[in-house]
Amino acid sequence: MGAMEIWINPACSKCRSAISLLDAEGVGYTVRRYLEDVPSEDEIRAVLGRLGLEPWDITRTQEPVAKELGLKDWARDEDSRDRWIRALSEHPKLIQRPIITADDGTALVARTEEAVREAIGHGATSG
């Protein structure tokens, strides 16, 4: 097993495509069904650091729960960062998917084949 991890929702076609591509390339990875194994606020912070993104960058603002929370009206600044991270942890459906964290410490939102291949390039370092 590689140290790559992919956060997926099995109902998501982009997640299934990413898994198929990883399998086809013979890459070792672990699957995290993040709706069941919900990431903590600290884990979300760590992944955001690896992605080089802010929480609002990985938030699915079209989800019904996003509309209920009024996310599109939330400030997108340093003072609001913890509020966004808490929302992602409390409502994991809001997390953009799939997210692949690679062996080299990088991470990508792997919604395209190109992004999955880039993650494989970061993660497929054989020892």
**64 CB-contact burial (10 Å; exposed 0-12 / middle 13-18 / buried 19+):** exposed
- pLDDT tens digits, one per residue of 7-52: 999 999 999 999 999 999 999 999 999 999 999 999 999 999 999 9
Whether pTM > 0.85 for this model: the answer is yes
The CATH architecture one would assign to domain 4-125 is 3-Layer(aba) Sandwich (3.40)
Cα distances (Å, whole numbers) of residue 86 to 24, 36, 38, 81, 89: 36, 17, 12, 9, 5
Catalytic residue list? 12
Domain edges within the chain: 4-125
Strand order in the sheet with 99-101: 29-33, 4-8, 99-101, 107-109
